[in-house]
């Protein structure tokens, strides 16, 4: 009988220990769940999530597209080029932080949006040629169409309070260099306001620098609304690269690891195609589809963003030929 009670005691102790362990584990599990539930979404996910975006797995498989962002055109009475440059820089910075596109160095960009504006239209022919010069898949241009500044101030007192409010209208257009057509257009309004104490120095709220600073805040607000749209438009375009160099049986591409290519990727090689221009209006209509020359396999990465490929099928490849995912 003693042995039986001893056995019961052991079972009870084991059960109690298991129960305590279970409680401890449950409490820890609950804390873990609360942590993950309370932790806000990641910066990039929160900023750029959109119903039109592809799933994570699909996105991993897509090479990054190269995009050229030209300084925006400040088409307002202020005519301040600095605001146009600021708008483009904000867009470049946010797109760079998304880690979903590649951008050329800004010091290599010598043209601005206004250089390609012809009346009320964008000169697509020249714009697309500019894009090909930089080897990008898309070009983004923009225009600041309106800046409205309003001020409310106290009229009595030595130390008075003044409040400035600004609204800016910004237009953005995205062009696909491959097809030579506009793929997205959007117009958004940005807002900003500030409050300042003024005594005798009116420049603190009315000076050019003060107005420019608050206008930049409003432009930042507008650009944050345009960034997700720009990124989604990138996802809808086809990726393509180019044959950069041919040395014997070695074919080098102008895209590599940084662009998101993977070792073993199979690429099809196409002829560049021909530009289609209306013989009467001389307007650019697009580019014809090139013919298939063969296929390549990515075998090695070199330099900052280049790849060495192995010829699978076909031949007669030339520098400038287009490469796309098979």
CATH number of the domain encompassing residue 282? 2.40.10.410
| pLDDT at 42 (0 to 100) | 35
The length of the chain in residues reads 326
Region of poorest pLDDT, from 103-117, 206-220, 245-259:
206-220
User: If you average pLDDT over each of 33-37, 54-58, 109-113, 134-138, which comes out highest?
Assistant: 109-113
- Whether 94 and 225 map to the same domain: the answer is yes
Cβ count near 114 (within 10 Å): 16
For residue range 216-267, what is the model confidence (pLDDT) as tens digits?
999 999 999 999 999 999 888 888 889 999 998 899 999 999 999 999 999 9
Q: What is the CATH number of the domain that holds 186?
A: 3.40.50.10610
Alpha-carbon gap, residue 64 to 101, rounded angstroms? 5
Comparing CA positions, the residue from 258, 231, 45, 244 lying closest to residue 138 is: 231
- Whether 115 and 247 map to the same domain: the answer is no
- Whether 246 and 200 map to the same domain: the answer is no
Out of 175, 209, 235, a domain closes at 235
**Helix 208-235 × helix 81-98 angle, to 10°:** 40
Cβ count near 127 (within 10 Å): 24
What's the token pair of residue 194? 């500030």
Whether the Cβ atoms of residue 103 and residue 95 lie closer than 8 Å to each other: yes
- Whether 65 and 214 map to the same domain: the answer is yes
Contacts of 22 (CB under 8 A, 6+ apart): none
- Whether 86 and 127 map to the same domain: the answer is yes
Is residue 205 classed exposed, middle or buried when 0-12, 13-18 and 19+ CB atoms within 10 A define those classes? Answer: buried
Around 267, how many Cα atoms within 13 Å sit in the side-chain half-sphere?
A: 35
- Considering only residues 267 and 157, tell me which one the structure prediction assigns the higher pLDDT: 267
Whether the Cβ atoms of residue 194 and residue 204 lie closer than 8 Å to each other: no
Give a yes or no: residue 218 inside a domain.
yes
- Considering only residues 22 and 176, tell me which one the structure prediction assigns the higher pLDDT: 176
Domain limits at 300? 241-325
Residue for token digits 């600004």? 166
Alpha-carbon gap, residue 44 to 20, rounded angstroms? 41
Out of 216, 235, 254, a domain closes at 235
| pLDDT at 34 (0 to 100) | 43
Distances, alpha carbon 189 to alpha carbons 166, 291, 316, in Å: 10, 44, 51
Cα torsion 80, 81, 82, 83 to 10°: value is 70
Strand boundaries in 154-265, DSSP class E: 160-176, 181-198, 241-247, 250-253
- Whether 225 and 272 map to the same domain: the answer is no
| pLDDT at 36 (0 to 100) | 30
- Whether 224 and 247 map to the same domain: the answer is no
Please list the residues that pair with 298 across neighbouring strands: 309
- Whether 259 and 145 map to the same domain: the answer is no
| pLDDT at 200 (0 to 100) | 47
Predicted TM-score (pTM) of the model is 0.73
Cα torsion 284, 285, 286, 287 to 10°: value is -90
Give a yes or no: residue 249 inside a domain.
yes
Alpha-carbon gap, residue 10 to 230, rounded angstroms? 68
- Considering only residues 79 and 96, tell me which one the structure prediction assigns the higher pLDDT: 96
Over residues 300-319, the mean pLDDT reads: 91
For residue range 36-88, what is the model confidence (pLDDT) as tens digits?
334 343 333 344 444 444 444 444 557 899 999 999 999 998 878 999 999 99
Percent of the chain predicted with pLDDT > 70: 71
Whether the Cβ atoms of residue 196 and residue 204 lie closer than 8 Å to each other: yes
Number of structural domains, the chain? 2
What's the token pair of residue 121? 């239209």
Around 157, how many Cα atoms within 13 Å sit in the side-chain half-sphere?
A: 9
């Amino acid at each position: 009988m003693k042995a039986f009670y001893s056995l019961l005691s052991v079972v009870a102790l084991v059960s109690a220990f298991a129960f305590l362990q279970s409680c401890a584990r449950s409490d820890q599990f609950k804390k873990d769940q609360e942590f993950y539930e309370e932790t806000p979404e990641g910066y990039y996910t929160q900023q750029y999530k959109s119903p039109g975006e592809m799933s994570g797995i699909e996105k991993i498989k897509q090479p990054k597209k190269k995009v050229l962002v030209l300084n925006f055109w400040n088409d307002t009475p202020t005519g301040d080029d600095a605001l146009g440059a600021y708008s483009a820089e904000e867009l470049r910075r946010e797109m760079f932080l998304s880690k979903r596109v590649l951008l050329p160095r800004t010091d290599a960009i010598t043209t601005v949006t206004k250089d390609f504006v012809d009346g009320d239209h964008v000169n697509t022919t020249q714009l697309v040629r500019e894009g090909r010069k930089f080897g990008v898949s898309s070009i983004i241009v923009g225009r600041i169409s309106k800046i409205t500044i309003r001020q409310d101030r106290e009229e009595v007192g030595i130390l008075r309070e003044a409040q400035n409010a600004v609204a800016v209208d910004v237009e953005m257009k995205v062009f696909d260099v491959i097809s030579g057509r506009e793929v997205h257009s959007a117009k958004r309004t940005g807002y900003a306001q500030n409050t300042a104490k003024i005594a005798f120095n009116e420049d603190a709220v009315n000076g050019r620098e003060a107005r420019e600073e608050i206008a930049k805040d409003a432009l930042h607000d507008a650009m944050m609304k345009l960034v997700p749209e720009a990124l989604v438009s990138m996802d809808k375009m086809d990726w393509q690269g180019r044959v950069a160099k041919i040395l014997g049986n070695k074919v080098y591409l102008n895209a590599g690891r940084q662009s998101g290519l993977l070792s073993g990727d199979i690429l099809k090689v196409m002829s560049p195609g021909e530009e289609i221009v209306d013989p009467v209006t001389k307007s650019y209509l697009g580019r014809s589809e090139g013919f298939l020359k063969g296929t390549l396999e990515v075998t090695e990465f070199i330099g900052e963003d280049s790849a060495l490929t192995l010829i699978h099928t076909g031949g007669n490849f030339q520098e400038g030929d287009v490469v796309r995912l098979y």
